[in-house]
Amino acid sequence: MIANYGYKDGSGEYYISIDTDKCIDCAAERACLKACPQQMFEIITDDYDDEVAWVRKEKTRALAYDCAECKPAGGYTSLPCTTACTPGAIKHSW
């Protein structure tokens, strides 16, 4: 399943997408958990009994603010989460 968290409004589109099928046998050993400075991700057992990455419920309504730290203005040249996720499950829309 591709899970999209975020929103679109007049200022743009703010989505984190996780292709949870790529999480099942994670070759990166769940590196996303430690890579995100905001501890955005957690591993949950989904409805089909697979262990997949998920955006923490309490973080889903503040993505634009929490993710802003990792954007170029924050001094990063690449996003820590997408870099750590070598299977390419995590993507950002902005």
Partner 1 sequence: MITAGIDMGSRSVKVVLLEQIKVEGAKAPSFAVKKAHLMLPGDLDADQAAEKAFDAALAEAGVTRDQVKSVFATGAGRGQVAFATEGITEMTAGARGAVFMYPQARTVVDVGAEEGRGIKTDPDGKAIDFAGNEKCAAGAGSFAEAMSRALQLSLKEFGEASLRSDKSIPMNAQCTVFAESEVVSLIHSSTPKEDIAKAVLDAVASRVCAMVRRVGIEGNVVLIGGMGHNPGFVQSLKTAMDVDQVLLPELPEFVSALGCALIAAERVH
Distance CA(18)–CA(22), nearest Å, equals 8
Q: How far is the CB of 9 from partner 1 (least distance, A)?
A: 5
Residues that bind partner 1 (CB under 8 A): 1-10, 13, 15, 46-47, 60-61, 63-64
Burial of 88 (0-12, 13-18, 19+ CB in 10 A): exposed
Q: CB of 74 within 8 A of CB of 24? A: no
Q: Which is nearer to partner 1, 55 or 84 (CB)?
A: 55
Nearer to partner 1, 38 or 60 (CB): 60
Minimum gap (Å) between residue 5 Cβ and partner 1: 5
Tokens of 24: 């099942």
Least CB distance to partner 1 at residue 2 (A): 4
